[in-house]
Amino acid sequence: MRRGLVLMGINNIFTVEEEGTGALYECRIKGKVLEDAVGDYNPLAPGDRVEFEEDPIEEHKGSIERRLERKNAFVRYNLKRKAPQTLAANVDLLVCLTSPDQPPFRPRFIDRVLVAAELVEGAEALVLLNKKDLGVPPEVARRLSLYADIGYHVRMISVKTGEGIADLVAFFQGKTVVLVGQSGVGKSSLLNTLVPGAGQRVGEISRKYNRGSHVTNYSRLFHARGFEVIDTPGVREFVPYGTSSRDVGWCFREFEPYAKECAYPSCQHMDEPDCAVKEAVMKGRIDPERYESYLRLREELELLEQEEYG
């Protein structure tokens, strides 16, 4: 049995890089499901390690027999397909790439990615502002320092001028990092800086597997110097998966010390009496914008739950 690393998967065909040799195999899953991944919608993602068997006839084809134990998984809810989508596995650092302008800074998007990051066990999160060369308005700077205050990594770079890139590469050493971002923030540009030629390779792959459609709707692992980087599809909306409307408050990490003090253990921090979270918002100890993000995400998850079960 050979061992390998899943680099990407499109339409249930997985590109697996063999351990030791680095040879690439085009693999399918043997049988219908993987034993240890029963019930998963997409059982394999870039970053997964697998055992596979080489095809006896066709060179560089194979079948995946088993997924090795995962440390964690980064999952979003795919609104189009109405199903969870695992974007990456075995993640050390989730990078939410953003920009001060072009497209506009969207803190609500960041908050949602950070909620998803809280659900990736053992992974850290970095809020990474690209396009620093465009200038950083005070409101953006304030928000970034809020993220730092509540315990997330925060950095600013400019792919255009190269500012902050060397430090970023140093920070990434030894890690598997996942890039997430809205369209247009410069994700492809950053990826190309980290992994020269990556963009071109992505283009070739989409032509091969995604005939006609140029939109990359799958993630892909690349080896960079001293670290691994997983690129994910640029999305307009991001919905985290793996929590419920009732529990999502626990994914706003700065709420936690207060939430424990709420009169009701399952307090939703809305209209309940003696809600310590609301009180903290009122006293300025919790940022009102983060609280607003919470309310909106809670509501959206509730709507999705009604769609699913109603």
Ligand X SMILES: Nc1nc2c(ncn2[C@@H]2O[C@H](COP(=O)(O)OP(=O)(O)OP(=O)(O)O)[C@@H](O)[C@H]2O)c(=O)[nH]1
Q: Which residues bind ligand X (CB under 6 A)?
A: 130-131, 133-134, 158-160, 181, 183-189, 234
Tell whether 101 is in a known binding site.
Answer: no
Residues in the chain: 310
**SS3 for 81?**
coil
User: What does 186 interact with, of Zn ion, ligand X, none (CB < 5 to 8 A by kind)?
Assistant: ligand X
Cα–Cα distances (Å) from 292 to 249, 278, 280, 298, in that order, read 11, 11, 13, 10
User: What does 269 interact with, of Zn ion, ligand X, none (CB < 5 to 8 A by kind)?
Assistant: Zn ion
Tell whether 187 is in a known binding site.
Answer: yes
User: What does 123 interact with, of Zn ion, ligand X, none (CB < 5 to 8 A by kind)?
Assistant: none
Our CB check for ligand X shows the closer of 86 and 232 to be: 232
Tell whether 96 is in a known binding site.
Answer: no
Tell whether 275 is in a known binding site.
Answer: yes
**SS3 for 76?**
strand
Our CB check for ligand X shows the closer of 234 and 249 to be: 234
**SS3 for 29?**
strand
User: What does 42 interact with, of ligand X, Zn ion, none (CB < 5 to 8 A by kind)?
Assistant: none
Least Cβ distance, residue 296 to Zn ion (angstroms) = 17
Least Cβ distance, residue 136 to Zn ion (angstroms) = 34
User: What does 133 interact with, of Zn ion, ligand X, none (CB < 5 to 8 A by kind)?
Assistant: ligand X
Our CB check for ligand X shows the closer of 5 and 185 to be: 185
Tell me 222's DSSP state. E
Residue located via tokens 């088993």:
66
Query: Is 96 near Zn ion (CB under 5 A)?
Result: no
Please say whether the beta carbons of 241 and 75 come within 8 A.
yes
Residue located via tokens 């989730």:
94
Q: Please choose, from the candidates 88, 25, 126, 120, the residue with its C-alpha nearest in 3D space to the C-alpha of residue 219.
A: 88
Indicate the Cα dihedral angle 154, 174, 191, 149, nearest 10°: -10
Residues 244 to 273 in contact with Zn ion, rule: CB under 5 A = 262, 267, 269
Least Cβ distance, residue 184 to ligand X (angstroms) = 5
Tell whether 32 is in a known binding site.
Answer: no
Our CB check for ligand X shows the closer of 12 and 200 to be: 200
User: What does 9 interact with, of Zn ion, ligand X, none (CB < 5 to 8 A by kind)?
Assistant: none
Least Cβ distance, residue 276 to Zn ion (angstroms) = 6
Q: How far is CA 259 from the centre of its chain?
A: 26
Helix H, strand E, coil C: the string for 86-133 is EEEECCCEEEEEECCCCCCCCHHHHHHHHHHHHCCCCCEEEEEECCHH
Other Cβ atoms within 10 Å of 189 Cβ, number: 15
Tell whether 185 is in a known binding site.
Answer: yes
Phi, psi at 109, each rounded to 5°: -65, -45
Please say whether the beta carbons of 277 and 264 come within 8 A.
no
User: What does 156 interact with, of ligand X, Zn ion, none (CB < 5 to 8 A by kind)?
Assistant: none
Rounded to whole angstroms, how far apart are CA atoms 209 and 13?
9
Tell whether 267 is in a known binding site.
Answer: yes
What the block records as the tokens of 228 is: 């691994």
Least Cβ distance, residue 300 to Zn ion (angstroms) = 19
**Interface pick for Zn ion out of 95, 191, 277, 280 (rule CB under 5 A):** 277
Our CB check for ligand X shows the closer of 62 and 181 to be: 181
Our CB check for ligand X shows the closer of 43 and 234 to be: 234
Binding site for GTP, by residue number, is 130-133, 181-189
Binding site for Zn(2+), by residue number, is 262, 267, 269, 275
